Amino acid sequence: MTVQQESGTVGEALEVWIDQDLCTGDGICAQYAPEVFELDIDGLAYVKSVDAELLQAPGATTPVPLPLLTDVVDSAKECPGECIHVRRVSDRVEVYGPDAE
């Protein structure tokens, strides 16, 4: 079963964001998906735009590219700070992360 089948999001656009207040700076996310996550000089993780620009505004989101979905989901599952949120774009329901149902 694929990650999308598991979450019931087949064919749906997903986005990811990081709650920096909970980020522990372990960098696991950047190891799993460096195209999506990056540690900044402050030691916290942030998402990157599709143009690889670091998005530092609180609650900034970026689309989850389908080829990287498993890596992004693994990042959310393994994050010790439980600060990575993956949600559907259509209704903003979290499908992976600490607030997932």
Pair of tokens at residue 64: 């989850």
The predicted structure's pLDDT at residue 11: 72
Q: For 20-43, what is the mean pLDDT?
A: 97
* For range 64-80, the mean pLDDT: 96
Are residues 55 and 62 in contact, defined by beta-carbon separation less than 8 angstroms?
yes
Task: For residues 62 and 5, give the distance between their C-alpha atoms in angstroms, rounded to a whole number.
Answer: 21
CA distance 9 to 4: 5
Alpha carbons 69 and 42: distance in angstroms, whole number? 26
Please tell me which residue, 68 or 101, carries the higher pLDDT value: 68
- What is the reported pLDDT for 5? 43
